[in-house]
């Protein structure tokens, strides 16, 4: 199949590479010529395990191409995926101007029928709007079949998630588009759900918001644990064994971040409001998520007293491990808060140092360290903000020797408290210490 993917961000690039891997001829298009040049020279602009290898393999096999020529890519392909960004507007609504801009171009440059696949996360009813926009801007010259095909991949395991999905969701009212999508995704041997466009769009928002809700629920339980002396790890383990609840996304900590959950929960609340439903449940999810960061910060201040002149080693800046993505990461709040209180903040992340420099370079008293041990050297406390495997496996005895104080604030509950105690640490985590 000949496919154009418009937008080579996370979703677009992974989708393009994986569809090429399945044997299709894919052109990934972007209006950022620097990015396209970088990709054409074999460099991947984001950190994502296995992506580079799969891109290289498919470029060499002449199945994957990168281009800035949008009109030609539209003309030459029959299936066109829209994977451009849908950032949040000031009021939390999704900004659809990029999606609509691309749709206008598709309408303008299409000379034969096209299947237009909405891959970006969009509010319910966007597909319907796209269909009208495509038709009106093309003067009814050609036929467009709109498909909603939401993406469920996670950063850090994006390739695996794309190639081994638990479900593929296809929303369309066209029989021929349905057959084309079956042909495209059939080789994955995963369940394919065919539904209408509105339902497909809602499946995406409802799923992300439900996962965010699970996390906030676990975090609320963690706060009750702190007030009662219970251990949130024990509680969520006990809950998760019930298959009706499930173990995943019950990890308490300093809350969710990333480019999806915060934005999608916000957008879902707005959509509901516009339609006349007040989604108070999701507003509480946001409130709990914001509280987790503040509460962690307050614990640090409470234990250390004044932070003025204290040296704090911050381990982990990315919003989660295996990515260099800092969007909505807890570090974006915590590092400036600590620095404003007069602390010397010595930060380290295994892969997110470059994006972190862009964010924190202008802040006084933030130092970028080459590794964990440099960050911890003579520190008054260690703060773990991201659950990188290498922090789990760190030689904590060696760490204890370089620290000024053997004090750890663990925002991700990486360790068993008793083990850390045995190693000589005062260990403060989430939902496991009575206040």
d(CA 389, CA 372): 13
Phi-psi sector, 311: left (phi>0), alpha (psi -120 to 50), beta? beta
Pattern 292-331, binding to ligand UGA, x per CB under 6 A? ---------------------------xx-----------
Comparing CB distances to ligand UGA, the nearer of 50 and 374 is 50
Active site residue 260: yes
The stretches of 186-316 forming alpha helices (DSSP H) are 197-228, 232-240, 261-274, 280-304
Pattern 148-167, binding to ligand UGA, x per CB under 6 A? ---xxxxx------------
Phi-psi sector, 148: left (phi>0), alpha (psi -120 to 50), beta? beta
Comparing CB distances to ligand UGA, the nearer of 70 and 127 is 127
Alpha carbon of 230 to those of 135, 234, 434: distances in Å?
59, 8, 8
We find the least distance from the C-beta atom of residue 144 to ligand UGA, in angstroms, to be 25
Pattern 237-276, binding to ligand UGA, x per CB under 6 A? ------------xxx-x--xxx-xx---------------
Residue 98 interacting with ligand UGA (CB under 6 A): no
d(CA 230, CA 173): 51
d(CA 228, CA 311): 32
We find the least distance from the C-beta atom of residue 409 to ligand UGA, in angstroms, to be 16
We find the least distance from the C-beta atom of residue 387 to ligand UGA, in angstroms, to be 7
We find the least distance from the C-beta atom of residue 84 to ligand UGA, in angstroms, to be 14
Instruction: Classify the C-alpha dihedral 250-255-261-265 as positive or negative.
Output: positive
Pattern 110-129, binding to ligand UGA, x per CB under 6 A? -----------x--------
Q: Of residues 18, 28, 260, 369, which has the active-site annotation? A: 260
Comparing CB distances to ligand UGA, the nearer of 257 and 350 is 257
Give the closest residue to 249 by CA, choosing from 286, 204, 218, 222: 218
d(CA 293, CA 271): 27
* Residues at the interface with ligand UGA (CB under 6 A): 121, 151-155, 208, 211, 215, 249-251, 253, 256-258, 260-261, 319-320
> Which residues are catalytic, by number?
260
């Amino acid at each position: 199949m000949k496919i154009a993917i418009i937008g080579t961000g996370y979703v677009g690039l992974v989708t393009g590479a994986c569809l090429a891997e399945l044997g299709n001829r894919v052109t990934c298009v972007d209006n950022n010529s620097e990015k396209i040049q970088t990709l054409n020279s074999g460099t991947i602009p984001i950190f994502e395990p296995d992506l580079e290898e799969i891109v290289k393999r498919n470029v060499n096999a002449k199945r994957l191409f990168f281009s800035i020529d949008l009109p030609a890519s539209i003309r030459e392909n029959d299936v066109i995926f829209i994977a451009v960004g849908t950032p949040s507007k000031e009021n939390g609504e999704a900004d659809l101007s990029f999606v609509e801009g691309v749709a206008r171009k598709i309408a303008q440059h299409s000379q034969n029928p096209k299947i237009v696949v909405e891959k970006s996360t969009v509010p319910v009813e966007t597909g319907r709007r796209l269909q009208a926009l495509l038709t009106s801007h093309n003067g009814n010259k050609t036929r467009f079949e709109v498909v909603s095909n939401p993406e469920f991949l996670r950063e850090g395991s994006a390739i695996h998630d794309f190639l081994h999905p638990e479900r593929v969701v296809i929303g369309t009212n066209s029989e021929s588009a349905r057959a084309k999508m079956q042909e495209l995704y059939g080789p994955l041997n995963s369940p394919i759900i065919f539904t209408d466009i509105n339902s497909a769009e809602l499946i995406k928002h409802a799923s992300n918001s439900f996962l965010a809700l699970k996390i906030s629920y676990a975090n609320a339980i963690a706060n009750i644990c702190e007030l009662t002396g219970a251990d949130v790890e024990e509680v969520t383990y006990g809950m998760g064994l019930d298959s009706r609840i499930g173990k995943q996304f019950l990890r308490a900590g300093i809350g969710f971040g990333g480019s999806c959950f915060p934005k999608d929960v916000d957008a879902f609340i707005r959509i509901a409001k516009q339609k006349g439903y007040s989604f108070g449940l999701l507003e509480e999810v946001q409130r709990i998520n914001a509280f987790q960061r503040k509460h962690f910060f307050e614990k640090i201040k409470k234990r250390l007293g004044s932070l003025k002149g204290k040296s704090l080693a911050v381990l982990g800046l990315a919003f989660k491990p295996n990515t260099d993505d800092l969007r909505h990461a807890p570090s974006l709040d915590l590092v400036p808060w600590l620095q404003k209180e007069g602390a010397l903040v010595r930060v380290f992340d295994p892969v997110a140092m470059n994006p972190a420099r862009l964010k924190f370079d202008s802040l006084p008293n933030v130092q970028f360290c080459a590794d964990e041990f440099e960050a911890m050297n003579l520190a008054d406390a260690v703060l773990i903000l991201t659950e990188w495997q290498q922090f789990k496996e760190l030689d904590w005895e060696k760490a204890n020797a370089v620290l000024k104080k053997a004090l750890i604030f663990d925002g991700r509950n990486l360790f068993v408290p008793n083990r850390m105690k045995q190693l000589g640490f005062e260990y403060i985590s989430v939902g496991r210490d009575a206040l």
